Amino acid sequence: MIRRTKIVATLGPSSGNPKTLERMIRGGVDVVRINFSHGTREQHIELVEMTRSLARAAGFTVGVLADLQGPKIRVGKFEHGKIRLEVGDQFILDAACELGNQERVGLDYKELPGDLETGATLMLDDGRIVLGVSQVKGHQVFCVVEQGGILSNNKGINRKGGGLGAPALTGKDLEDIRTAAEFGADYLAVSFVRSGDDIRQARALLQEAGGKGMIMAKIERSEAILALDDILEASDAIMVARGDLAVEVGDAAVPALQKRMIRSARANNKIVVTATQMMESMITNPIPTRAEVSDVANAVLDGTDAVMLSAESAAGEYPVEAVEAMARVCLEAEKEYLVSIDRRMQSINPATIEEAIARATMYTAGGLQIRAIAALTQSGVTALLMSRRSSKVPIFALSPNEETRRRVTLFRGVYPVEFGEGLNDPEEILNLAEQELLDRGVVRSGDIMVMTIGEPVGKTGGTNTMKIIRVGEWKTRQGIDKN
């Protein structure tokens, strides 16, 4: 059984060596995440080159997701590294403080006082500590501790309900976008997105730097929920980033929001990744908890394109095992029949010829005993449109374009195949495509498969033909024997 849901694994100290990374690729990694919150430009480039070299040698295609850090809304450092806050304590967030103590701490985001007013609630360290704002005076935010605990260096700050005005793109992000363009990132994830304009700005900057990657919006601010339609329109993909989002909207609200975002992304022909703490116990344990297994399985059943490992693969003790466990869970969950999420196929007319061909292909796949779909594609758009319809029929994106093959690694149920370089004759291409899937053992003589192609050949965005083929008939009819 071929796994349809893709796996994104964050690279870091635990996985940044060739032996471990190769095992992760063979274990099921489809896309690696380069986290710009850690490491240097040189380290990022080295990791990308290592990934692509190892994948090529093993016969796999692996995509690269470059994840921008975004604004650092964090406390500063403490004189002794950490303090303990008790309920009822008075505490000051001071933009002018250099080194924190039991009474106050500095801020990385110096503009924080201007975003707050009396009565606001601040969540520190992913909600472990809660501060109520009693007064804002100049560069100081006077707070009362409502939920105490240990507060250490550089912990994050969120405002309950959202409303912090830090821009999505920082000066560091601008440099990192250039780095992402340099190593040819297939996806660029923008952190703390507030609106579609943040995505449009990131896209313009990436293109200006020479990058061609798709743009992913990380949904982790409450404002992003309100602007979801605008963000979906501007982006190619979204990430359900449940960590910061849960702090802002409340943990109980996240499961329903996750389902809503997955539905909305698929309905708008966008890619969706579900992330954060999916198998967090595997940072220190070789097997996941039953709750984590259910979490991953539910995301799969919801129709997510991919599930993501963060610290589990970047800094955990069992990065390979985490990948393998996630792959097992995805495969088991996919055995359940999925009702189509794209209701537009019944209610809205297709917007383009490509979309019409994609719909016709998936309708045919659902009605006949189709073994496989071969989408001969330059850009990957037709394969993406097909993947928005839930189906157990595998879609093979056959393309001469390496960037396209890396891009489709994130599309649910789509598998990249290097094919078609220098070919121009449609009959020859279709014949060789059939043979390609025969050689891979995907289809056998007598099976029915569907092929899509654009005529004239080689034109991006030109898919206009669907053919239903019984495997082996062309060979018999044309007297061609390629064995």
- Round to whole Å and give the CA distance between 218 and 261: 11
Question: Looking at residue 414, what DSSP letter applies?
Answer: E
- Round to whole Å and give the CA distance between 328 and 413: 16
Give the CA distances from residue 22 to residues 26, 66, 187, 293, in Å, rounded to whole numbers and listed in that order.
6, 19, 21, 24
- Round to whole Å and give the CA distance between 310 and 308: 6
Question: Which residue, 412, 415, 416, is CA-closest to 402?
Answer: 416
Question: Which residue, 180, 181, 219, is CA-closest to 199?
Answer: 219
Query: Token digits for 200?
Result: 């449009």
- Round to whole Å and give the CA distance between 26 and 48: 17
Active site residues: 33, 74, 218, 276
Side chain identity at 186, as an amino acid letter? Answer: D
- Round to whole Å and give the CA distance between 242 and 366: 34
440: phi then psi, degrees, rounded to nearest 5: -85, -5
Q: What DSSP element (H or E) covers 135?
A: strand 129-137
Query: Token digits for 244?
Result: 């910061």
